[in-house]
Chains A and B, each alone.
Chain A
Amino acid sequence: MTDAYPLWLIIFGLGIGSFGLRFVFLGLVGDRTMPDWLLRHLRYTAVAVLPALVAPLVVWPKATGGETDPVRLGAAALAFVCGYVTRSLYAAMGAGAAVMIGAAYWPY
């Protein structure tokens, strides 16, 4: 599946890039601070990138050939609600997994 990739380029590219992001202020910028507008945008990076990555996977899963699947939609919705209400990563993962496993072994 990943044979077509220059895997070591990706690993070291990500390693050097991640280190650069962590080192940029500690090592190079020193005590100067970033402009407020930039910090404000950076604060929302994680909560923007991850939903954008997940949303198409939930609605058009590749395992079903891109066809919307009620079980996966349900698992995702329940995981989200559990995570949001309980603020617990494990409650959310458990809820999602329970739906997927339950559907797989449901005696039709």
Chain B
Amino acid sequence: MPHASTRSAFLRGLRDGFPFLMVIAPFATLFGVIATEAGLDIFETLSFSVVVIAGAAQFTAIQLMSENAPTLVVLVSALAVNLRMAMYSASITPHLGRLPLWKRALVAYFLVDQTYASAAFDFEKHPDQTLAEKFAYFMGVVVPICPPWYVFTLAGAWVGEAIPQELGLDFVLPIAFIAMIAPALRTGAHRGAALTATLVALACAGLPWNLGLIVAALAGMIAGAELERRALQ
């Protein structure tokens, strides 16, 4: 009964994705608030979340725009934050690479941190699933994660338009980023990458066009990769 098994895979995905709602809702709301503070209207803010659907990259773009960075720097920096998505894509391909092209495109659009993590763990735990079951599981995880991302962005944009600009939410975003970074520093290589990037960013803060960000990020990535290589030797 392929129908019953894909249905149960979909329901398992739905159940696994649900706890992430607790992360998605406040984060999407925060994006809505910050984007409207930066001068975007409600429609532009919602479009940002629907078209880009990548929290950290969206926050990065808004931050750099409010610092008057050049457009090219905004694009390159925000996409650099999203480079990890290419790793997710590479990692999920052995499982879902045989789907028809339109389904692969659909998976790619919905491939975010939480959907990737759930699917990667589930496909490892239940390796004997059919292709249809794996796809059903993935779409099940998407339901409580991606549509709420749009809905709560919209809610945040409404709230944000009501908050007077003078209240100054300037420091909410740095704190939000720090809150994302600190729990992710699991290994010495992660800590080395973050510390190197921090120091180089401060040293290169005077560079024009926010190039200090790019230089510091590359330095941090090289430090992390090198520390990992040495730890393995």
Contact = CB atoms under 8 A, between A and B. Distances in A.
Contacts of B181: 47, 50-51, 54, 80, 83
B225 A26 contact: no
A32 to B, nearest CB: 9
A22 B109 contact: yes
Interface in A67-97: 72, 75-76, 79-84, 86-90, 92-93, 96-97
Contacts, number: 274
B225 A37 contact: yes
B105 A48 contact: no
Interface string B167-183: 01011111111111111
A4 to B, nearest CB: 7
B104 interface: yes
Contact of A34 (B44, B90, B173, B218): B90
A26 B108 contact: yes
Nearest to B220: A48
A107 interface: no
Residue from A1, A21, A26, A93 whose CB has the most chain B CB atoms within 10 Å: A26
Contacts of B5: none
A87 B183 contact: yes
Contacts of B114: none
Given A44-B190, A49-B220, A52-B201, 9 more contacts: A2-B62, A5-B71, A9-B71, A14-B61, A39-B90, A47-B181, A48-B197, A53-B77, A79-B175
